[in-house]
Amino acid sequence: MSATANNTPKAAGMEHQSRRNEKVGQVVSTKMQKTIVVEVEMRKAHAKYKRIVRSSRKFYAHDEQNTARVGDVVRIRETRPLSKLKRWNLEEIVRRSTLAQVEEAEAAAGITPEQ
């Protein structure tokens, strides 16, 4: 066989898809060290009445660099148990919150918020 006939998806440059579960949600708390709380909203049709029902669930996720802020939309990925409650890892920050952008601009300008 020639080398060109033995092309596998990995050799062709396609990335291997992980079977780990991923969720997208909003950060609701960053008060712990290296841990964020992400609220994921699930929308599902009611079995009998067919009305869309919203339900939400909170997940504790590991944030190694403490980069996420409250209000950010993030993607989390399932991982091995890291503590009693943490079974998720921060994959990426999908969208920064507008509040976090304002705080960054004030910090860069050296303005302290009035209290």
User: Which helix (H) or strand (E) element contains residue 95?
Assistant: strand 88-95
| Domains identified in the chain, total number | 1
Does residue 1 lie in a domain region? no
DSSP 28: E
CATH number at residue 53: 2.40.50.140
Give pTM, 2 decimals. 0.72
Interstrand relation of 73-78 and 88-95 (parallel, antiparallel or unpaired): antiparallel
Give tens-digit pLDDT for 49-79: 999 999 999 999 999 999 999 999 999 999 9
Q: How far apart are the first and last CA of the chain?
A: 74
Identify the pLDDT of residue 22.
95
Identify the pLDDT of residue 15.
60
Q: Over the chain (115 residues), what is each successive 10-residue block's mean pLDDT?
A: 52 64 95 96 96 96 95 96 96 88 75 66
Furthest-apart CA atoms within the chain: distance in Å: 74
Domain, as residue range, for 29: 22-109
Place of tokens 């009998």: 48
Nearest to 28 by CA among 79, 65, 67, 68: 68
